[in-house]
Each structure stands twice: as structure tokens, then as C-alpha cells.
Structure 1
Amino acid sequence: MLSESPSFLNALLSLRYPISLVILYLGVIIALAEGLNRLWGTNSEFTRKIVHIGSGNVVLIAWWLQLPSWTLIGASFIASIIALVSYFLPILPSINSVGRKSLGTFFYAVSIGVLAQLFWSKGEPQYLAIGILIMAWGDGMAAIIGQKFGKHCYEVLGVKKSWEGSLTMMGVSFLVTSIILSWVSVPILTVVIVSLMIAIVAMALEAFSKLGIDNLTVPLGSAFVAFYLINQLL
């Protein structure tokens, strides 16, 4: 047991700089959003999307730095606690103040931990990246486009959406999935088929977002469908 301690300590020390880089990146994103919200009065929904999209990109940094799964799971746990505290106490309006009660940020953090355990720890980070980046960029851009240009609305179980936003979700999801699968050398025809299927699934799951549950269903659903289809087609 004692002989294992130095190895564990060395492992922690070797991760000091990569983890510091991730923390610095997230700190800059949150500070930017908070600054815009508190100092310049920027709409809190817009600043929330800055955090939403920016924080999702951290999976690319983690993939590049080859961080172990426990760092993502640990970060997910800490972020979940912060999100819950901010939900009940508005200490970070750039994260949770959207004019409605939503646990979206909490679900977002949880989804990272779940996917890290299921895929990252098994050496398949591409599925976590697909799930999280679809949520980050797809949902983020869908909300921005839908609010600014959405004129053709529909309703799903009491949740109002626009076709402009939903089609944005579908298009971005297709693009994100295509880039990631191409990066890991999946054949082009398989890339197109899987990306199209995932785009449709992601759009359907995002259509229902009561209490922010889509921040859980979209990442998990997209990652699971990607994993299943890739293993069926290859």
C-alpha cells in the first residue's frame, strides 16, 4: 500500500498543469459571462448560452490532454453541486437566471459524469464528445436562433418551440457528429448515416425541455445512439 502512494502522488502531480488549464478556461468563460451580466447588463439568457457553449468545449481540451475519466467525473460532481446551489441561491445569474425554473445546468453537469463513466473510462471519448458538444452547440445555437428568428412555433407537452430553432438543432447536431466521427476515421458513408440519425434524435429530444431535462436526455440519447449505430454498422 505504501509503495503505491508515491505512484498515485506522481499521477496527481503530472495532472496538475492539464487540470489547471481546464480550470483556467472554465474560469475565463464564467468570468466573461458574469462580467457581461453584472457590469453591462447583458441579457442573462445570452450569458447563460456563453457558459453553456463554452463549458461544453472543455471536453475537447480534456480529450486533447488525455485526462483520465476520474477527473471528468470529479469535475461533474463539483459542477453539479455548484449548479444546485446557484439554482436555490442566485449567486451566478449568468448560469441559471433564465426567467424560469430550470435544472438544466445541473443535468448538464450530471450528463458529463455519466458519459465519462460509460465511455471515457472505456477508451471511447468520441461518444462523450458527441453527446456533450451536441448539447453545447446544438441546443445553444437553437436557443439563440429560435429566440431571434423563430416565427413558426409548435408545442410539445406544454413546451413551446420554433421550427427555426429545432432545425438549427438538427443541422448543428449533424455537423458536430460528422466532424467527430470523421476525426476518429469512421468511413464517410457511415458518418453521413449515423450523423443524420443522431441529428433527428437530438432534435426530437430537445423539443421537450421542461425543467431543463433536455440537458440530460440529449447528451445521453445522442451518445447512446451513436455508440449503438457505429457498433451495428462497422
Structure 2
Amino acid sequence: MFTSVPGLTSIPSLWLQITIVAVWVLLVLLIAWVVKRFANGEPEILRKIVHIGTGNVILLAWWLDVPASVGITASILASAVTLLSYRFPILPGINSVGRQSLGTFFYAVSVGILVAYFWHLQQPQYAAIGIMVMAWGDGLAALIGQRFGKHQYKIFGAQKSWEGSFTMALVSYLVSSLILLGVEGNTWQTWVVSLAVALVATGLEAVSFLGVDNLTVPLGSAALAFALFQLWPT
């Protein structure tokens, strides 16, 4: 089980936990700033650096056994800041003022919902699946789709590429498999559930608009994985 980590038999103090998580977030923001300042980074690349990097906080929270109250509070604060950032330049390079997307807000909300629910159930692996599928799957799908997406399609007016959708499915499958392998082991459920999560997450991402996939993908992926393991216990 990932919840039993060698060398962490005694859980660090709450302030140490918060400090470690905060340092990670600041490091991600610093990397994005350096890329923007010295490498003339494109806005979308900067956003995906933050998108992917901050998503990994869920693994730190799981590893350190951070209390749910901390994750929920951080989610509320992040949601408030992101809402303000749509009107004021609080997060330049991450959100543009007036940008027609609530993706960053939905991202923060999804973290709070998943932490609140699955920490309570003492099943943090499902929260991790939801957030990591969103962080890595959607993040890399957007980058690959924009760079190499030659075969376009539209669903409900949203333009996607088959290259991006394939990346979403592949990365979602890998992320889910790695997490479930560490928790459930090498069972048929691990591989079947991972495949189901990958397909559903890709479908949810394909029909997204106004950034709503940052809510539907993590919640849908986590809920599906949880439900299937209730149906097919190991």
C-alpha cells in the first residue's frame, strides 16, 4: 500500500506537511517563471507546466497523509484566487484576464471534492487517480494535440485532434495502472479498470467546453475506478 511509506512511520507535523506541499507548488511556479523569462515560453506551455506540476501535489498529500481539512481549505482558497484572476491579473501566464474558460477554477474545485470524499473513506488512491489523469493526461494531450494534431474532429463545437485524444487515453491508462498496481497489485481488475478509466476520461475530455473537463475528468475517473472496484473487489 502506498499509505505505508518506509521512513514515514511517524507522520510529520502538520506545519511540516504544509511546508513541503507549499515548497513544491512554489517550485512549479518558479519553473514556469524561468521558462517564461529565459526561454520565451509560449503561454500554453506555461499553463501546462503549472497544470501538470500542481497536480502532483495530490501524491505529496497522500504520501504525507495530509489531513483532509488542509486539502479542502487549500482548494477553497485556490478557487477564490482563480475566480478573482479571471477579472484581475493575479495569475498572469496561467489565466488571461477575460479568458473564456473556467478550467483553473474547476481544477481547484475538483481537488477539494476528491480529497473531501476519498480521504473520508480512507481511499486516497481514487483521488490520486482522478487528479493525475487530469494533470498528466489532459496536460500532455493538449500539448501533443497542438503540436502534432493533424487529424481534427469536432464535438459540440469543440475542436480536438485524434493525436491529442490518443495521448489522453494512453497517459490516463498508464497513470491509472501505476497507481492501482501500487495499491491493488497485478490483478486483472487493475488492468481492466485502468482501461475503463482511460476510455471514459478521454470521452469526457473530448466533449469539454469552457474548461469543464477539469471537473468532469477527475471526478468521473475517480468515481468510475471506485465504483468498479466495489463491483469487482480484489
Q: For 1:72 and 1:169, how far apart are their aligned partners in 2?
A: 26
**Identity over aligned pairs, percent:** 54
Tell me the amino acid that sits aligned with residue 210 of structure 2.
L
Matched, 1:220 2:232: no
> TM-score of the superposition, structure 1-length normalised?
0.91
C-alpha deviations, 1:44-81, integer Å up to 9, x for none?
11000000000000011111111111111011011111
Aligned partner of 1:157 in structure 2 is 156
Aligned partner of 1:198 in structure 2 is 197
- Check the 8 A contact 1:44/1:98 in 2, yes or no: no
Matched, 1:91 2:90: yes
Deviation at 1:39, TM superposition (A): 5.3
Tell me the amino acid that sits aligned with residue 58 of structure 1.
V
Please show how residues 1-234 of structure 1 align to structure 2 within 5 Å: 14-38=13-37, 40-97=39-96, 100-234=99-233
Q: CA RMSD in A?
A: 1.6
- Check the 8 A contact 1:202/1:218 in 2, yes or no: yes
- Check the 8 A contact 2:184/2:190 in 1, yes or no: no
Secondary structure of 2:110's aligned partner: helix
The answer to which structure has the higher helix fraction is 1
- The number of equivalent residue pairs is 222
Deviation at 1:100, TM superposition (A): 4.3
Q: For 2:92 and 2:170, how far apart are their aligned partners in 1?
A: 29
- Check the 8 A contact 2:85/2:97 in 1, yes or no: no
Q: For 2:99 and 2:33, how far apart are their aligned partners in 1?
A: 19
Secondary structure of 1:140's aligned partner: helix
C-alpha deviations, 1:129-155, integer Å up to 9, x for none?
000000000000000110111000100
Question: What 5-or-longer segments of structure 2 have no aligned partner?
Answer: 1-11
Q: For 1:97 and 1:141, how far apart are their aligned partners in 2?
A: 21
Q: For 1:131 and 1:99, how far apart are their aligned partners in 2?
A: 28
Question: What 5-or-longer segments of structure 1 have no aligned partner?
Answer: 1-12
Deviation at 1:90, TM superposition (A): 2.3
